[in-house]
Amino acid sequence: MAKTSLEKGKIKILLLEGVHQTAVDNFHNAGYHNIEHLPTSLDEEALIEKIRDVHFIGIRSRTQLNERVFAAAEKLVGVGCFCIGTNQVDLQAALKRGIAVFNAPYSNTRSVAELVLAEAIMLLRGIPEKSARAHQGGWLKSAKNSHEARGKTLGIVGYGNIGAQLSVLAESMGFNVIYYDVVTKLGMGNANQVGSLEELLGRSDVISLHVPDLSSTRWLIGEKEIAAMKPGAVFINASRGSVVVIDALAEAIKAGKLNGAAIDVFPVEPKGNDEEFESPLRGLENVILTPHIGGSTLEAQENIGIEVSEKLITYSDNGTTVTSVNFPEVALPAHPDKHRLLHIHDNVPGVLSQINRVLSENDINISGQYLQTNDKVGYVVIDVDKAYGPPALEALKQVDHTLKLRALYSSQNS
Ligand SMILES: NC(=O)C1=CN([C@@H]2O[C@H](COP(=O)(O)OP(=O)(O)OC[C@H]3O[C@@H](n4cnc5c(N)ncnc54)[C@H](O)[C@@H]3O)[C@@H](O)[C@H]2O)C=CC1
Ligand SMILES: O=C(O)CCC(=O)C(=O)O
């Protein structure tokens, strides 16, 4: 098991993909100065090399944290996804090593909703094609296939944080909003839930996807679903590239089945701004192509920087895991003058009694104990009155099924 008793000055933080400076500032203000801040993601081999001595890593959607990477991350305590999606992280591989993963579930939702609404209007007016023609010296002045948003039906697939915000903005523009979700949800304003994806596809003038990347959403929209759409509809995907069969979409655009599309996310995306972007949608004038920037506004990135760094700092400083996406959630009170032990273990019977026996054998009195479990892992936080020594820590590490032990503010590391 990795040794994870941390001194603040020795905690190494690696921030990739141009995570906003607010995160760096927050870490500095909280006393963390050992920070490496890189503008891009790293490929697997480079990441494996770099992550060996890292305690906390911050990423966005490009960096893949898979089993191999976690296996090399011997000191890793926490992961911050400075975005909403966590599909780029093998959450189970993290969990089985006692590594908590956090994200920012709200901070960029407004940015995505605004972009999608703007794209819906651009597509309903055929602007991408008209603009492209004008750039080439052409003049496509025509009302053909151009429509007002007012009175048109917007179909939202996935009515979560983004879908619901889009619903409100779109209704204020005059759209009739319908949505399909696997969960029954109360519609915002006058929006109505429909009973099936097929019904939504058949009724909508604009279709926009806002589902997470799950095995159940993989290739959700393919040839059959496109065939079920209204002729002349427009289609928007700013969710994940794995949700749409991109070749089927390209064919539908070429065949004139759809009037246009706006796509922000792709099955394969370049790893950095220097790599060429390949897609069957390239060159189709009535398709808006954007480089996965739905959430890339300065406002969103600034807020995400603050939100996720705060979660990592709180976890590092006192063990709180509230809103973690893979870990049992524990909300902890402040612990002045107390020493705190964080024990992460397989969720099997008998571990807590072994821990308590070690404490009792080392004459350590418990002043507070907080336990949460999920189906795989148990997370117990123990406040004790007196500083524990290395033998007690060693004995706790030897408890069967221990995944990770962290010690905060003991005599040896405060
Ligand atoms: N393009 C970009 O830059 C960004 C993309 N995203 C993507 O957007 C996704 C959605 O974000 P949020 O709205 O915040 O997520 P959310 O978790 O709040 O909402 C997702 C909704 O989809 C529903 N859903 C799940 N499976 C479904 C299915 N098969 N059919 C219909 N509905 C289904 C869920 O019940 C939930 O209501 C994220 O998971 C992320 O992948 C998020 C932010 C930025
Ligand atoms: O901004 C990013 O890097 C990713 C945005 C995104 O897709 C998300 O938040 O899930």
pLDDT at position 1 over 60 = no
pLDDT for 342 equals: 95
pLDDT at position 358 over 80 = yes
Q: Do 1-103+297-327 and 109-289 agree at the fold level?
A: yes
pLDDT for 6 equals: 60
CA of 238 to the centre of ligand 1 (A): 9
Ligand nearest to the CA of 157: 1
Name the closest-CA residue to atom 4, ligand 2.
61
Using CA atoms, how far residue 234 sits from 139, 174, 237, in Å, is 23, 17, 10
The chain-wide mean pLDDT, for the chain, equals: 94
pLDDT at position 2 over 70 = no
**DSSP assignments along 91-143, one per residue:** HHHHHTTT-EEE--SSTTHHHHHHHHHHHHHHHHTTHHHHHHHHHTT------
Q: What percent of the chain has pLDDT over 70?
A: 97
Q: What is the pLDDT of residues 40-51, one digit of tens each?
A: 999 999 999 999
Domain boundary assignment for the chain: 1-103+297-327, 109-289, 330-409
Domain 1-103+297-327 CATH class label: alpha beta
Q: What is the pLDDT of residues 71-121, one digit of tens each?
A: 999 999 999 999 999 999 999 999 999 999 999 999 999 999 999 999 999
CATH number of this structure's domain 330-409: 3.30.70.260
Q: Judge if ipTM > 0.90.
A: yes
pLDDT at position 3 over 70 = no
Give the residue, out of 38, 84, 298, with the most ligand 2 atoms within 8 A of its beta carbon, to mutate for a pocket test: 84
Give the residue, out of 59, 106, 115, 181, with the most ligand 1 atoms within 8 A of its beta carbon, to mutate for a pocket test: 181
Q: What is the pLDDT of residues 248-286, one digit of tens each?
A: 999 999 999 999 999 999 999 988 888 999 999 999 999
Q: What is the pLDDT of residues 11-38, one digit of tens each?
A: 999 999 999 999 999 999 999 999 999 9
Enzyme catalytic residues: 240, 269, 292
d(CA 388, CA 406): 12
Please state which architecture CATH assigns to domain 109-289. 3-Layer(aba) Sandwich (3.40)
Calculate the CA 355 to chain-centre distance. Answer: 34
What pTM did the predictor assign? 0.94
Q: What is the pLDDT of residues 359-397, one digit of tens each?
A: 999 999 998 999 999 999 999 999 998 778 889 999 999
Burial class of residue 135 in the structure, from the number of CB atoms within 10 Å of its CB (0-12 exposed, 13-18 middle, 19+ buried) = exposed
CA of 316 to the centre of ligand 1 (A): 29
Instruction: Give the contacts of 325 (CB within 8 A, at least 6 positions apart).
Output: 81, 86, 91, 101, 102, 103
Mean pLDDT for the stretch of residues 211-238:
98
